[in-house]
A and B are shown apart, each in its own frame.
Chain A
Amino acid sequence: MKTAPQYEFTQEQEKALHQARWLEYVTIAYLLSVIVLMYFVTGSSQAMKTAWYEDILSLVPPISFLIGSWICWRKPSNHFPYGFHRAVSVLYLVAALALLGMGSFLLIEAVTTLFKGEHPTIGMREYFGIDIWLGWWMIAVLLWGTFPPIFLGLKKLKLAKPLNDKILYTDGKMNKADWMTAAAAIPGVLGIGLGWWWADAVAAGLISIDILMDGWKQSRDAVTGLMNRAPTAMDNGYLDLPEEIKAQLLTYPWIHDAEVRLYEHGHLIFGEGFIQTPNDTPLDPERMREAIKAVNGMDWRLQGFALTIMPKA
């Protein structure tokens, strides 16, 4: 069986992948620290509980990336002739659905808490010999959960570009926006302290809407990503690559007309070009090989581009 060619990383990409993996391990360790700390101080605050679930869910993209970075660059085989790049897309979909489900669940909980008028009870708590209102401990933990992700996120966005890795990109974007969770939860906790019992449920509602929207956006992205759609850039704008390839093909005098279709396959792009020769003159294999090589050189993501004769309409 003709398998797709195995892509070889450039040195820059190799370095980026290495750094990205390391960064994701750091992220996981950091998130675990936040999750454990939050577990100890959550008390009966709905906003804290919601933020806690969000932090647990934000473990999924780093884990997906790490699993994906092992699986998806494996050599294409007889049973997987196009390679394993979509393994990541599948993981991505699962993660997105988890966000969607958890977001809905937490939103419903926040709304019912609000309508039932449940007053969150938060008392004193002693850690390290400091005996203060538990709300202060919550805020301290939320602050630890706020600022490190901004920097992790920025670094991930930078590394995602050379690798064209959507999970890394989305993860970076989520990290960057993560401080907003704390920005919602902290006023919620402070509100409880002021005697505004509803502040907690409102903050929980805002955070769950945020989770829900992330889930919706990512689910849509993941589903369309699994549908052989035309290749996109990481911000989901469609590439002009098909038109550029067509223009490239039309520069050859032995090609009279050409059409190109491409599809995205994880990090990579596959596809084929259909050509028509002037007056149906026979094709020269050497010329075709040259054209294919030229096209494959147009974008590193382009692998195994095939050239064939346009069928008669």
Chain B
Amino acid sequence: MEAANRFKSLRAAPFSLLSSIRNQAAKLAVESGMPVLFAFLIMGVLTLGGCDDYPADPDHSLQTIQQQKLIRVGVIDDRPWVYIENGTPAGIEATMMNAYAQSRGLDITWHPLSKADAFEHLKRGKIDVIIGGLTNASPRKKDAGFTRPYLNAKDKKDQYVLAVPRGENALLTDLEKFLAQYDVKSAFEEPTS
């Protein structure tokens, strides 16, 4: 009987230990006004939200771009969004990147690549952005961080986006802030530059 009981308590031990720790912690936390403290902590952090370097990049993409004053743009040929003309990229998204670089005081190096290579380069940190008529319907969505659409539409395959490395949220939000102010129609009207 005693042996059976001991066996039972041994078997239940890891779980009951964990849950008793959790229960104790919860009780202590509630009694000491932890939720309230927690609320104040959140408020405090929220006020920090105005900071410029929040959110940050795990791999410091934006920081590097700003320090070197250079953005490396992967180009997938896809008319009319991007295409190479007389050795330089042209098209709606190329114009867009030029405007971005200009507004941020950056130089651009263009990297014409195949679709597969572009995403591989992006993953390895060899380029910072991909342009090339990508949409939210792209099966590559999982391999990169897509901006929100600069051209919005109901259908996913008409929602045009740019791609940055996954999780590089500072670069992503900086691009998105730019896109929110950018007049896409001007790129449509402008002939090749």
Could you say which of A118, A135, A139, A183 contacts B55, with CB atoms under 8 Å apart? Answer: A135
A/B interface sample: 17 pairs, CB < 8 A: A118-B167, A119-B168, A121-B145, A121-B167, A121-B169, A122-B172, A123-B148, A124-B172, A125-B148, A143-B39, A150-B30, A150-B35, A190-B45, A192-B55, A195-B57, A195-B170, A213-B19
Q: Are A124 and B167 in contact (CB under 8 A)?
A: no
Most interface-central of B39, B55, B168, B176 (chain A CB within 10 A):
B55
State whether the Cβ of A196 lies closer than 8 Å to any Cβ in chain B: yes
Residue of B nearest to A154 (CB): B30
Residue of B nearest to A183 (CB): B38
* Stretch from A161-169, A172-180, A225-233 forming part of the interface with B: A172-180
Number of interface residues of B (CB under 8 A): 35
The interface residues of chain B lying within 8 Å CB-to-CB of A213 are: 15, 18-19, 22
The interface residues of chain A lying within 8 Å CB-to-CB of B60 are: 195
State whether the Cβ of B42 lies closer than 8 Å to any Cβ in chain A: yes
Q: Are A119 and B167 in contact (CB under 8 A)?
A: yes
Instruction: Categorize the interface residue count of chain A.
Output: 35 or more
State whether the Cβ of B177 lies closer than 8 Å to any Cβ in chain A: yes
Among B16-44, those with CB < 8 Å from A are: 18-19, 22, 26, 29-30, 35, 38-39, 42
Most interface-central of B35, B165, B168, B169 (chain A CB within 10 A):
B169
Q: Are A193 and B15 in contact (CB under 8 A)?
A: no
> How many residue pairs between the two chains, A and B, have CB atoms under 8 Å in the bound complex?
92
Q: Mark A196-235, 1 if CB is under 8 A from B, else 0.
A: 1100000000000010010011000000000000000000
State whether the Cβ of B54 lies closer than 8 Å to any Cβ in chain A: yes
State whether the Cβ of B46 lies closer than 8 Å to any Cβ in chain A: yes
Bound-state CA distance A194–B54 (Å) is 7
Q: Besides A121-B166, A122-B55, A213-B15, 14 other CB < 8 A contacts?
A: A119-B166, A121-B169, A123-B173, A124-B176, A131-B177, A131-B180, A133-B54, A133-B169, A150-B30, A192-B55, A192-B169, A194-B56, A195-B58, A197-B58
The interface residues of chain B lying within 8 Å CB-to-CB of A146 are: 35
Within the complex, what minimum Cβ distance (angstroms) separates B179 from chain A?
Answer: 9
Bound-state CA distance A180–B24 (Å) is 13
State whether the Cβ of A300 lies closer than 8 Å to any Cβ in chain B: no
Known contacts: A121-B145, A176-B30. The answer to whether A216 contacts B15 by CB under 8 A is yes
